Chains A and B, each alone.
Chain A
């Protein structure tokens, strides 16, 4: 029995300590309970409050006391039930009676370590400032100089290559009988497989990190783009296996299965290989992730239900850690060589294999190694602004490398080695952070990327993810996603219609395609991507311009 004489407010936080304060309008609320029914964090709850007024009536002091008790909606001051600002309450409120308000003076991080547990969350780097990519603009607009193209009128072929491209002198080319060039059929030289893809791909988000409705929506959208729109957009699976029905379908060619340090689902994938009617687009080996460099993943046991268990090939109800590193890799040479070799072998050397690392000062060293490995099909670099399903706040906010200078440094290294057309660089992390998807992607391409990879933008654009850089929502790690994007709870993920997600994927890509043309047309580029065409971009900040070795304009 707890003591009756409890201490009232000792050690209780005030609402002002919280990042979002619920503004509840007593006068508008009809107490329908929709807000409290949906609040993912149980931050708001119904309760009662007593009201007591004392007045005096008549010509002399004549007290009259009125007392009433009313039902109310309250905000919890328990930090475990903090309001994330997701505004699902506002979404369902029929009377605009409730909404969370950002409190810039909050002390959330100071308190969010109860039990000695550092704050973990989903989302992205909580930095609402404009990214470097948004400081870049396209300043080479051809009108009468180069043949200017019309984005609406001219036909464009926006494509890129994924795979190792051998220089002509290394190709076993011979003059055939009709004096045309042909491949020497007798040559035993390894010709690396190369895929022609759309230069903006959907990055690795796993089955598990994403709900089945979200993942299927993305997959369906990608397939529609390929099959109906003839846009060869591809998508990486993320670590966590892939559903067998997809592995065994001809659509697998639009997907890039990822293998990472947990190797989850790979026994299922390998057993499916003999039944596969098409090769996958490529294989991605994950060594790092931009959002949480040096940190691994953890799929909480409560998310490991039948679906995840079957796809990942693990029992239900167990924690699934993906360690920050692969356990049997000891040096960069060995690590890269043996992983790439193994994954090439799995599909008879027909499928390009490339590693993905987090943005880092060491990216150049990795690239240096890959250039000397004839099997390395690309290098994917994921910058600090990438999103994630779950990570320590410190990893997300304070670790990692911005993608712009990282990709630029790597590209210029390739140029020095004369290899810039041979090994593609894939850039990711914060593309479309402020909504400028095409502009950010084009800027990265002009800085040297052959392709860019997007994830968070798709969650926001295709499914209405509520998260933002003011730490709104960002509870992907808890499985309580109010939109049904990052949860394994059917009650939540059935809020998401995979058909609608697919439709949005198609809309986003069609719109992206128009915008890319609007950027590329004035450059006179309609058939070749302006990879590394850095004379076409400028920065409005001298320091950025200097660092990226591009012009400064003002």
Chain B
């Protein structure tokens, strides 16, 4: 059998189908033919899929081969094409050596895995795409003498391509347009100009020694195979004319930034260069636009804490017309300074037992925060406990002379304060004893007289000079006015206000009734029906006294919801007093023992007492002291009147409770003292009571011990609005911004370090006393 055979692609002028040609070739190889010449006529896949069984099968292809020459070619197959070849030469080459002595069109060596492709001319588009290298086999090689077309080596995953760039038809690029897109393996050696490549996938490098050592000997073989040995020197004389494209490794790609330029570089070199330093808004803001963290300190915080000790008034003090700081007493008690605690009150009131302890409705206790938890502090008890405390030490004499007209609660309070400050106080009292309504109008059962007398004595002992039975008329007033530095008018209101109704002259006034009883006069109301016009607290005292003097029925009427409250109301009602409202009195018909009302109703009564308030008598005052229509002196809350030398306090200014009178007396005394010692006009800054929600009552356990003890009261106090120095804030502050300092002037303060504090609000949130507060950090 001949080992050399020629197969014709055309028989009898008819083209042999690709299937028949393929079957013929396979049959010959099967029979041992190893050298085959094919006169091709466009047949597909010539020379591929040959199994040479360890030998070599040589093909010589003449004529016009069809697409995919040598496709799926295996080791041992050698094909030489005399002329050009069509598309996809060496497609999926698995080892064949293919030499094309002409050009190859599109897609040469596409998907080649092994084998060699030698091209004497140029390659078309998409050559060397999707080639790969199986590590078990040598890599595929593709050699192009002139150039290749567009999109060369796309998705190349392995294998070697060599493009010699001899006399390229397109001198601008021997690798065509956009080579190496998606290339992940292998290498492309080339010589000559290129117009770009896929920079995202591959990098352009010079050849290394190893590259050159591989290329030059192989070049010789290649040139011999394509009959171009004469070019060897030209192609290997200058390594510098060669370059290679290799893909970035997976590791390099993952590290590669998607950014062609960092934003910072862009900002510096483009943005700020064009719009100006620090960007487009820099000229509108006065702060840097650099980032700050979410958690900030110093001026960058949204809120900051303030230790606002005593910014607010404690509810007890704020609600006490005398302004007595009970929380201060409690603090002293907690510090075991019991005596000081009980003495403290005398700086505010000369009547702790009489007023706080007995007759005061104790607005302080009503307001006490502790009352929301269990029971308010027993401030009444604390008042009583101060009965036997000695008066504070007097200041040295100032030589200033102050006259106080009226020895009631207001006058005595002012006189007490001024005397303690060392001023000479001259007091004028119309009656033969001081105390005013405390002594004259309050039923004795509500106010033990020994308590009152004890406290009056303490006042007198301060050295106030008292003029008893001193009736004041304008002459007397002018004399006092000219003999003293300051005159304080505290004459009270003693003229009963009379309802203007027919028959009222047959009635008696509450003032006369109560004062009469307290000064020895007797009334016998046995079996009588008593009607009181007015139902305030004085009316309740009248009612109580009416019952005590034998009345069988007591009724109080008022035009509005009665103002009576507290103990007075309690006593009167417990005795059986009826309170009726609204009732507008029309007339009193004494003859018929009846009072008629505007609604047509009547009440039968034997005695009528009117108790709708008292009017001050101020006709002794000079015109420089302004009074209003009702005779009350016009004065501010400190007692300043229209006459700079005259102050007015107590009921003569505006009717109120004993505690109001005491408070005004103290404030006025402070103002007078300031004036006399060369100070400025005195007006205390208003202090708002602390909102309850600022006080953390959860710190305190509900008190189960009802027994009063001064000591226990001290511990019950929640120290509202006044720092109790408990260190809770300091302990809570996570960053340690809060510390307690002791300034040189004494005392202590808690401070927060702005450079550490993050403005979280824990100090304010945990403060038992409501001292720390968070404010906007402007």
Interface residues of chain A, those whose CB is within 8 Å of chain B, are 1-2, 4-6, 30-38, 45-50, 67, 69, 71, 88, 91-92, 152-153, 155, 212-213, 215-216, 219-220, 223-224, 227-229, 243-246, 249-251, 306-307, 310-311, 489-492, 494-500, 502-503, 506-507, 510
Contacts and interface: CB of A to CB of B under 8 A. Distances in A.
B594 interface: no
Contacts of B276: 245
Contacts of A495: 291-294
Contacts of B139: none
B258 interface: yes
Contacts of B689: 1
Nearest to A224: B266
A225 to B, nearest CB: 10
B292 A494 contact: yes
Interface stretch (B336-344, B366-374, B740-748): B366-374
Contacts of A152: 181-182
Interface stretch (B267-275, B437-445, B599-607): B267-275
Given A1-B315, A228-B260, A245 B766 contact: no
Given A31-B732, A37-B758, A46-B762, A250 B274 contact: yes
Given A499-B264, A500-B263, 18 more contacts: A4-B367, A34-B758, A37-B303, A48-B766, A153-B154, A153-B155, A153-B182, A215-B281, A216-B281, A243-B275, A306-B284, A489-B302, A494-B289, A495-B294, A498-B279, A502-B263, A503-B259, A507-B258
A33 B283 CA distance: 36
B284 A310 contact: yes
Contacts of A153: 151, 154-155, 181-182
B23 to A, nearest CB: 29
Nearest to A510: B258
Contacts of A88: 294
Contacts of A4: 315, 366-369, 371-372, 376, 692
Interface string B291-324: 1111110001111000000000001001100000
**Which residue among B259, B315, B691 has the maximum number of chain A CB atoms within 10 Å of its CB?**
B259
A51 to B, nearest CB: 9
Given A88-B294, A498-B279, A228 B315 contact: no
A398 to B, nearest CB: 34
B766 A307 contact: no
B698 A33 contact: no
Nearest to A493: B289
Nearest to B267: A499
Contacts of B765: 36, 45-48, 71
**Which residue among A4, A49, A492 has the maximum number of chain B CB atoms within 10 Å of its CB?**
A4
A278 B570 CA distance: 89
Closest 4 CB pairs of A and B: A33-B760, A46-B765, A307-B284, A50-B698
B738 to A, nearest CB: 12
Contacts of B275: 243, 245-246, 249, 251
Contacts of B266: 220, 224, 227-228, 502
Given A219-B280, A306-B284, A92 B698 contact: no
A344 to B, nearest CB: 26
**Which residue among B263, B285, B287, B701 has the maximum number of chain A CB atoms within 10 Å of its CB?**
B263
A34 B760 contact: yes
Contacts of A494: 287-292, 300
Contact of A50 (B291, B292, B699, B759): B699
B696 interface: yes
Contacts of A244: 283
B300 A491 contact: yes
Contacts of B292: 491, 494-495
Nearest to A47: B765
Nearest to A44: B761
B620 interface: no
B284 A229 contact: no
Contact of A34 (B284, B295, B371): B295
Contacts of B295: 34, 37-38, 92
A216 to B, nearest CB: 5
14 contacts: A1-B319, A4-B366, A5-B372, A32-B760, A36-B761, A37-B302, A47-B766, A212-B285, A228-B270, A246-B275, A307-B281, A492-B302, A494-B287, A502-B263
Nearest to A311: B284
B734 A1 contact: no
A33 B294 contact: no
Given A33-B734, A152-B182, A47 B274 contact: no
A152 B274 CA distance: 34
B210 interface: no
Given A494-B292, A499-B264, A47 B301 contact: no
Contacts of B372: 4-6
A426 to B, nearest CB: 25
**Which residue among B292, B369, B734, B764 has the maximum number of chain A CB atoms within 10 Å of its CB?**
B292
Contact of B178 (A47, A92, A155): A155
A34 B758 CA distance: 8
A507 to B, nearest CB: 7
A264 B403 CA distance: 71
B760 A36 contact: yes
A245 to B, nearest CB: 4
A500 B291 CA distance: 10
A499 B263 contact: yes
B263 A220 contact: yes
B182 A228 contact: no
B261 interface: yes
B280 A243 contact: yes
Nearest to B760: A33
Contacts of A34: 294-295, 758, 760
A155 B259 CA distance: 19
B301 A491 contact: yes
B369 A36 contact: no
A37 B761 contact: yes
A311 B284 CA distance: 8
A506 B259 contact: yes
A30 B733 CA distance: 11
A215 B281 CA distance: 10
A307 B274 contact: no
A47 B734 contact: no
Contacts of B760: 32-37, 46
Contacts of A489: 302
Contacts of B732: 31, 46, 71
A50 to B, nearest CB: 4
Contacts of B290: 494
Given A30-B734, A71-B765, A506-B263, A245 B283 contact: yes
Contacts of A215: 281
Contacts of B291: 213, 494-497
A213 B698 contact: no
Contacts of B267: 220, 499, 502
B764 A216 contact: no
Nearest to A40: B302
Contact of A46 (B274, B376, B766): B766
Contacts of A37: 295, 301-303, 758-761
Interface string B240-279: 0000000000000000001111011011001100111001
B271 A223 contact: yes
A152 to B, nearest CB: 6
A92 B758 CA distance: 12
Contacts of B296: 491
Contacts of A243: 275, 280-281, 283-284
Contacts of A36: 760-762, 765
B287 A490 contact: yes
Contacts of B263: 220, 224, 499-500, 502-503, 506
**Which residue among A45, A92, A216 has the maximum number of chain B CB atoms within 10 Å of its CB?**
A216
A69 B281 contact: no
A71 B766 contact: yes
A92 B318 CA distance: 42
Interface string B362-382: 000011110110001000000
